[in-house]
């Protein structure tokens, strides 16, 4: 293997080592960021799964969960949501 290929062959290894070291150095600071950042504290319980943002189900109504991740999926799910709202008691 020539030196040019060897240099690029080792790059992913060096990148992973750098990320590991960075993560280990930053790990002790993460709790302080969450404790002193009002923005982070506001939704910490939801992120940990202790508080649910979904309201309780009202008896006699139906609930449908529509999962859309990208903007295109949200745009394509909109007609389905509008159909449900117009034709059912959601």
| Four-point Cα dihedral 72, 73, 74, 80, nearest 10 | 120
List average pLDDT for each run of 10 residues in the chain, which is 90 residues long: 64 90 94 86 82 80 87 95 83
pTM of the model: 0.41
Dump the DSSP string for 10-54. Answer: SHHHHHHHHHHHHHHHHGGGHHHHHHH-HHHHHTHHHHHTSS--S
State residue 39's pLDDT score. 86
Domain ranges for the chain, please list them: 1-53, 55-90
Contact 9, 1 (CB under 8 A): yes
Tell me the C-alpha distance between 24 and 65, whole Å. 38
């Amino acid at each position: 293997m020539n030196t040019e290929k060897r240099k690029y062959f080792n790059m992913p290894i060096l990148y992973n080592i750098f990320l590991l070291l960075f993560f280990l150095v930053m790990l002790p600071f993460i709790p302080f960021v969450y404790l002193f950042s009002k923005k982070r504290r506001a939704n910490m319980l939801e992120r940990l799964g202790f508080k649910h943002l979904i309201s309780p189900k009202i008896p006699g109504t139906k609930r449908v969960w529509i999962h859309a991740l990208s903007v295109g999926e949200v745009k394509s799910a909109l007609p389905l949501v509008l159909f449900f709202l117009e034709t059912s008691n959601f």
